[in-house]
A and B are shown apart, each in its own frame.
Chain A
Amino acid sequence: MTVEAKRGARSGEWRQESRARHFRERTIKVVLTGCAYASVLTTFGIVFVLIFETIDFFRQVSIVEFLTATRWSASFADGDFGVMVLVYGTLLTTLIAISVALPVGLLAAVFLSEYASIRLRRWLKPALEILAGVPTIVYGFFALTFVTPLLQSTIFPNLQIFNALSAGLVMGVMIIPTVASVSEDSIYAVPRSLREGAYALGATKREVATRVVVPAALSGIVASFILGISRAVGETMIVAVAAGQLAQFGGPFESVQTMTAYIVQVASGDTARGTLTYSTIFAVGTTLFLMTLILNIISYWFVRRFRETYE
């Protein structure tokens, strides 16, 4: 302030200038605060839109039918609204995806933090991140036109064109970097002294990694698993393209419809606002939103509750 005050005193107008500066500072602060609250508004917007249209939906369809019916044919005028069929589709593809992504992602994380040299790690990490940056429509194309024909001609000749298996497998590959990088962060954070203690007791590198480091980093690893599951539940284009649009309790070789794929199917067509079909996608969206929200909360809670602290 002293420099400003001296200069101002000489020109005889420091008071005014100071007021102008104050005004500018205050305005800028208000604008920036507004930016930060935009994110809160987004959340309000999501919750508002979902609740608003979902209430409209439950005026026409009972919540009991929605949760317990075992058929889903919402495109017809007097259709069935058993959302469990769509939830089943989502869970099946998710299960296939995480049975790839969790073990592969964890093992890759162990390699990156325990075995890879710093140079190799600096190359491998960004290369793995590319996997997460590939647009999901590209994965959908790959699952439909490469993986499915490949599986049909080699191990599963009775695989349908649209099936949960290819979609799930490709989705699993997409999630590998998510699991790997979050797990790796927590594995990397395990203090050296723990590793050295185990080495001093005569453990080999593998024994140190699997029996000391991984258990010590467990909270972060579980969080990465839950994050991966949440990604798989919300993933849309891979399943919409490769798993088909048939809402049924099908096996992995058959077509299933996920919650996300249903929303895409309806949105691709022309659906007028105010119709039952229009509010149906919001009811399904609410179900999806709640599922991912719960998963995110569990993951957040897990990290805080079970974090091992080393002083």
Chain B
Amino acid sequence: MTKNGTRITPEGRPDPGWDFKTSTSLRHGLDRVFLALVFAATLVGLVVLAVLLVDVVRDGLPWLSWSFITSFPSSTPTYAGIYPALLGSLWLLGLTTLFSVPLGIGAAVYLEEYAADNWLTRLIEVNISNLAGVPSIIYGLLGLGIFVNMLGPITGGPSILSGALTLSLLILPVIIIATREALRAIPDTVREGGYALGATRWEVIRSHLLPMAIPGALTGTILALSRAIGETAPLIVVGAATYLTFAPDGPRSQYSALPIQIYYWVSQPQEEFNVGLAAAGIVVLIALLILTNSFAIWLRNRYQRRS
């Protein structure tokens, strides 16, 4: 691309850097170097991930035992366990699913199937994508101000309920975005076929659109939920306890969670805690994440075969 004798870039600016190199062997040599560079860049992340996993397992394995899973935290490292934190994480997972999934799917169905194309709808859309970029600790401050303090008499203050509500709001944008994409992928002929048979809007949604959207929506939703399990910062802010000697017994109970327990151990000065026990806790957390993600894959395959 030339103009008046000077080379220009695709954007139309003069490009002083483009000097045609006559040596093709040099250019092809640089090509090989460049390929090595981009390949190495792709591997950097994967290598770090592998090193991280090996390091965690190596540090944590000696501390892992059945009694680690079933014991309460203790100031004596060999007796310390993760039971209340594990139970707390399962409670959080259950309640967060209960709150966020219906809300998220409902919002996605509204935006995709009902909403008129006007400024209000666009406002909601911009708002959702903006919420997805808000740091998780800010959600913690929201939870602290609203759920823990303002609604304290209902939620029980720094309770499982407050924690789960905070996490639900945190992952809501992800669930909405995933469900909307799944709904958008369904061809309009399905909707029109349903209407032609006399079905109402909701009947079409319930009998056709939701079942068809489930595989896609489910994957995004479970990824979001596994993000919720691993979140630490917002739970610290809404007052998850770091040292709990009783198991949570209800939504209004005080609680700990796996990442919180790990954070507490990492912050201790003794190596038994900040390396050994913390790593063992991380192994349990990662095992839980792998479990939920495999569940997602299994569910998706099951639904995909059916439809």
Contact = CB atoms under 8 A, between A and B. Distances in A.
Interface string B10-35: 11000000100000000110110011
B286 A131 contact: no
B106 A233 contact: no
A307 interface: no
Interface in B261-294: 262-263, 266-267, 274-275, 278-279, 282, 285-286, 289
Contacts of A268: 236, 242
B130 A43 contact: yes
B201 A133 contact: no
Given A36-B115, A38-B103, A133-B289, A292 B135 contact: yes
A74 interface: no
B106 A176 contact: no
A29 interface: yes
Given A134-B49, A146-B55, A267-B236, A110 B38 contact: yes
Interface of A: 1-4, 21, 24-25, 28-29, 31-40, 42-43, 45-46, 48-50, 52-53, 103-108, 110-112, 114-116, 124, 127-128, 130-131, 133-142, 144-146, 173, 176-177, 180, 194, 204-207, 209-212, 215-216, 227, 230, 233-237, 240-241, 260, 263-264, 267-268, 273, 281-282, 285, 288-289, 292-293, 296, 300, 308
13 contacts: A32-B107, A42-B172, A131-B48, A138-B56, A142-B55, A145-B275, A176-B44, A227-B133, A234-B134, A234-B137, A268-B242, A293-B130, A293-B134
B137 A285 contact: yes
B174 to A, nearest CB: 12
Contact of A40 (B124, B144, B233): B124
Contacts of A142: 52, 55-56
Interface in B147-185: 149, 169, 172-173, 176
B141 A136 contact: no
Interface in B112-145: 114-115, 123-124, 127-131, 133-142, 144-145
B145 A52 contact: yes
Contacts of B267: 241
B93 interface: no
A173 B45 CA distance: 6
A187 to B, nearest CB: 12
B141 A292 contact: no
Contacts, number: 268
Interface stretch (B63-71, B72-80, B222-230, B299-307): B222-230
A200 to B, nearest CB: 12
Contacts of B6: none
Given A234-B135, A236-B232, A124 B48 contact: no
B114 A33 contact: yes
Contact of A237 (B39, B102, B232): B232
B201 to A, nearest CB: 6
Given A25-B202, A131-B45, A241 B266 contact: yes
A237 B263 contact: yes
Contacts of B173: 39
B55 A103 contact: no
Interface string B205-248: 00000000000000000010011011111001101001000000
A295 to B, nearest CB: 8
A39 B128 contact: yes
A215 B10 contact: yes
Nearest to B202: A28
B233 A25 contact: no
Contact of A285 (B55, B107, B138, B262): B138
Contacts of B136: 234, 236
Nearest to B33: A206
B198 interface: yes
A171 to B, nearest CB: 12
A106 B41 CA distance: 9
